């Protein structure tokens, strides 16, 4: 009795399909994780830009802001961002601390960035201070 093999058995085909399905499932999980990490990274990056831009605006403005806490929103990167800005006094009357928390949602539950900076007010030296230096 001489049998000639002419293809794969059903068991071999099923085993190959199971191996392929496991590989595809693993790849889809990796791709999903990468997309999630990319989204979070983008939110952090844009949130940091927004907060840094706001601190730069405050530094370049002519006025001296009052210590206060405000909620604002801004458009950046094709999205609306919500942020809380807190300006507090320091021990030096010519220095203010600015804390900005940027959120990707209106309810302020998804924090994208948290940035702080300092504003300084320049006071020209008085005549007695200049004499002390010289």
User: Could you tell me the CATH number of the domain that includes residue 106?
Assistant: 3.30.1300.30
Query: Is there a domain that residue 34 lies in?
Result: yes
Measured CA to CA, the distance from residue 120 to residue 134 in angstroms comes to 25
User: Whole-model pTM?
Assistant: 0.70
Query: Is there a domain that residue 133 lies in?
Result: no
- What are the structure tokens assigned to 44, written together? 């952090």
Query: Is there a domain that residue 2 lies in?
Result: no
How many domains are contained in the chain?
A: 1
Query: Is there a domain that residue 43 lies in?
Result: yes
* Confidence label for 68 from pLDDT (cuts 50, 70 and 90): very high
Instruction: Please tell me the total number of residues recorded for the chain in this structure.
Output: 134
Contact 85, 70 (CB under 8 A): yes
- What are the structure tokens assigned to 89, written together? 């006094």
Range of the domain at 14: 10-126
- Mean pLDDT to the nearest integer, 50-77: 93
Query: Is there a domain that residue 85 lies in?
Result: yes
Quote the percentage of the chain above a pLDDT of 90: 64
Measured CA to CA, the distance from residue 71 to residue 59 in angstroms comes to 19
Query: Is there a domain that residue 1 lies in?
Result: no
- Tens digit of pLDDT for each residue in 78-114? 899 999 999 999 999 999 999 999 999 999 899 999 9
Instruction: Tell whether the model's pLDDT for residue 123 goes beyond 80.
Output: no
């Amino acid at each position: 009795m001489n049998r000639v093999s002419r293809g794969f058995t059903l068991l071999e085909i099923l085993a190959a399909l199971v191996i392929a399905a496991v590989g595809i499932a693993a790849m889809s999980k990796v791709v999903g994780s990468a997309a999630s990490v990319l989204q979070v990274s983008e939110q952090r990056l844009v949130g940091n830009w927004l907060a840094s831009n706001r601190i730069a605006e405050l530094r370049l403005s002519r006025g001296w802001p009052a210590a206060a806490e405000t909620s604002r929103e801004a458009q950046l990167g094709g999205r609306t961002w919500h942020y809380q800005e807190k300006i507090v006094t320091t021990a030096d009357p010519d220095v203010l601390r600015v804390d900005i928390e940027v959120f990707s949602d209106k309810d302020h539950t998804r924090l994208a960035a948290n940035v702080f900076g300092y504003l300084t007010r320049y006071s020209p030296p008085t005549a007695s201070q200049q004499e002390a230096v010289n």
